[in-house]
Chains A and B, each alone.
Chain A
Amino acid sequence: EVKLVESGGGLVQPGGSLRLSCAASGFTFSDRFMDWVRQAPGRGLEWVARARNKANTYTTEYAASVKGRFTISRDDSKNSLYLQMNSLKTEDTAVYFCARAAHHTGNYFFDYWGQGTLVTVSS
């Protein structure tokens, strides 16, 4: 059974930092692209970042809204995905979901999601 379990959310002041983790199990983590997607309270879904696998040289992609402030990384030996969030803003307040990506003719879609972890940025 595929499981994605996020942790690390909490309350942080504007300008602060937080590191989210996603523990994966039930599949070969090292083979997969992995993503973070967020959802602000009462709002829709927003893609945040992608980490490709070793075969794709661990390259990354970011949404413009977080580029330069957030860093996605992975540790295949621990089956874990991370999101280091720096210079946090109130508009970063959201539930952050970890998502697994599956391949479809050269592109990748989300096929499994974690339950999410809430990040609140407030003074």
Chain B
Amino acid sequence: DIQMTQSPSSLSASVGDRVTITCRASQGIYDYLAWFQQKPGKAPKSLIHAASSLDSGVPSRFSGSGYGTDFTLTITSLQPEDFATYYCQQYNSYPLTFGGGTKVEIK
């Protein structure tokens, strides 16, 4: 199985800050990497697929990069509605696996 490791597991930031979350795969996954946002008690929302392609309706302050084993999600100018937990997920091979999540909290 491919292990997905996210860091940090949590962070505190202020509105307007630039935030970067990293995700590392235990083996190469090309660009088969997705990012999701989840708020408490809600379903995940798809943000990015193919490592850097924004899903429909996702604000341009979100961006993704990376290839192979190392990936990043960046939020430029953090907004109040961005405080949530973020997950990466590989879809290169089965079983599909998620990172452990990064909780973005208000400083």
Contacts and interface: CB of A to CB of B under 8 A. Distances in A.
B14 interface: no
Chain B contact surface mostly? loop
B44 interface: yes
A56 B23 CA distance: 31
A102 interface: yes
B45 interface: yes
Interface residues of A, number: 24
B96 interface: yes
A44 B49 contact: no
Interface string A42-76: 00111100100000000001011000000000000
Contact of B49 (A46, A97, A109): A109
A109 B45 contact: no
Interface of B: 32, 34, 36, 38, 42-46, 49-50, 55-56, 87, 89, 91-92, 94-101
Interface of A: 35, 37, 44-47, 50, 61, 63-64, 97, 102, 104-105, 107-116
